[in-house]
Amino acid sequence: MYHDFLEYSAMGWIRPDKLPISFQIKIIKDDWFKFFESISYDKSEVGNYKVAGGVFKSYEHFEAYTINGFDNLAKKIKLRVENE
């Protein structure tokens, strides 16, 4: 678990489910997941989607994560167009 925590931290994520056991505060962790569950799937007015959340180490980590996601999406779209 600690190794997972370090990997995600290096990428800029702080995930409550990956906190080392010595740092886990069960109430906070449970509340975190209950909140996002409460606005997921059929409990939302905007659609039937899973909602999750994470905390980034910095704005730069958030930016890099977002840009990486757009780059991956662009690659998928390009592959789809080339295969049509």
Per-residue pLDDT of 22-31, as tens digits, reads 666 777 788 8
Task: Print the domain residue range for 39.
Answer: 2-82
CA distance 36 to 50: 8
* pLDDT score for 84: 81
* pLDDT score for 24: 61
pLDDT bucket at 68, cuts 50 / 70 / 90: very high
Q: Map the chain to HEC letters.
A: CHHHHHHHHHCCEECHHHCCHHHCCHHHHHHHHHHHHHCCECCCCCCCECCCCCEECCHHHHHHHHHHHHHHHHHHHHHHHHCC
Residue type at 67 in one-letter notation: I
Residue 57 exposed, middle or buried by CB count within 10 Å (0-12, 13-18, 19+): middle
Q: How many domains does the chain have?
A: 1
Per-residue pLDDT of 34-61, as tens digits, reads 999 999 998 888 789 999 888 888 899 8
- pLDDT at residue 14 tops 80: no
- pLDDT at residue 16 tops 80: no
